[in-house]
Amino acid sequence: MTHKIYQILLAFLLLTIIGCAIKKPMQQKSAFILLKIPEMRYADMGFISEYPNSLKVQIYSNAQPVVSLDIYKDRICMSLFECMNKSDFYRKVFHALYPEDTLEQIFLAKPIFDGVNLVKTSNGFTQKIIKPDQYSISYKISDTEVEFHDKINQIIIKVQQQ
């Protein structure tokens, strides 16, 4: 009898550990992703996976992940850099004056900068955000594509849904 209880407890423990270890995304999309910032340039197929408390962006080349970007509420982890809190990441990699949710909003195809200058279109929206000598952003969302371009800081992000 006690042997059976141990087997049941062991099975329950294993199922709990396995169930907690494997996080399934709420939503996963394949896309052609272009990520161009002064420190790096990548353009290839990848996945954008949305989890309850994070977002994961992976860019592949020859069926191998070359860039992995994990965006959490308080930090961003990138395969090419160590994990950093969001303010450090934006200061070192992106732009210090961008709101800390900018990258996440781009990959989720949502308005950036709290929706400033948002103009709705038939299949999405556009935003033009300019702060002289700091940034000049053109941001377009359509049914199948996201385009973010900051001319001053030479940052381009494009996501084409597949």
CATH class of 24-161: mainly beta
Residue by residue, pLDDT tens for the chain (162 residues) are: 565 565 554 555 445 554 444 466 678 889 999 999 987 888 999 999 999 999 999 999 887 888 899 999 999 998 877 899 999 989 888 889 999 999 999 999 999 999 999 999 999 999 999 999 999 999 999 999 999 999 999 999 999 998
Distance, in Å, from the CA atom of 28 to the CA atom of 162, rounded to the nearest integer, reads: 11
Task: Specify the long-range contacts of residues 112-118, CB closer than 8 Å, at least 24 apart.
Answer: 112/137, 112/139, 112/148, 113/137
All structural domains of the chain with their residue ranges: 24-161
